A = this chain, B = another copy of it.
């Protein structure tokens, strides 16, 4: 059952056309009195009320749609939704398409977020968080020779850390980079699988991180995580310059 939201007065912002409609709807959404699930007036009504043609209303609604703020349902109407983090995924995808050598830089953001998250997790994690982390940890060893599944397992472990932080903002930012991070995880797992020396690193390091969180030691957790990243970087460096020997056949 939808609540129909009465939009009764056009705001006079000196704008007209698309800008007027977009600003009007944006203001309503920002005012916070439209809640997810609320349905806006039909396009034809909005057009009359705002004194514009229907295609202009549609342009504005489309714009809000790609921002993840509303959803246009065919033959139903336009429904307010929670801000959709996948918008940010697109943003980063586009930014990266236009840049060079950004992946390493995104790693800085990853480090920033995860190190803060693990501090918070050590302070705030719930039993459910520990269970999630434990389950993710258990998936690391069996996937040691499968870069795709292994990347998934790695990502899940780290994402569980962020979740255990209890910080929605950190989670949003982390999820915004999900695709980039997954690509990075796959690449790293491929590199590590090609060289056999580092299985203990992967399994033991993740276990140590888990332990630090469980033992509620934010400083140690942060430090171990930074070391975890630094060791990963070192392996990558060695692989790049040929200091590592390929694994004997598995």
Contact of A30 with B94 in the complex, beta carbons under 8 Å: yes
Whether, in the assembled complex, A13 has its beta carbon less than 8 Å from a beta carbon of chain B, the answer is: no
Question: What count of chain A residues pass the 8 Å CB interface test?
Answer: 52
How many copies the complex holds: the figure is 2
Contact of B168 with A105 in the complex, beta carbons under 8 Å: yes
Q: Mark A165-204, 1 if CB is under 8 A from B, else 0.
A: 1011110110000000000000000000000000000000
> Which of B87, B90, B102, B170 interacts with A109 by CB under 8 Å?
B170
Q: Give complex CA distance A235, B165 in Å.
A: 24
19 contacts between A and B (CB under 8 A): A18-B62, A22-B66, A30-B97, A64-B66, A66-B67, A67-B67, A67-B87, A68-B91, A69-B94, A83-B94, A83-B95, A88-B91, A99-B168, A102-B169, A106-B169, A108-B169, A109-B167, A109-B169, A173-B173
A interface, CB within 8 angstroms of B: 18, 22, 26, 29-32, 35-36, 55, 58-60, 62-69, 82-83, 87-88, 90-91, 93-95, 97-99, 102, 105-106, 108-109, 111-113, 115-117, 120, 165, 167-170, 172-173
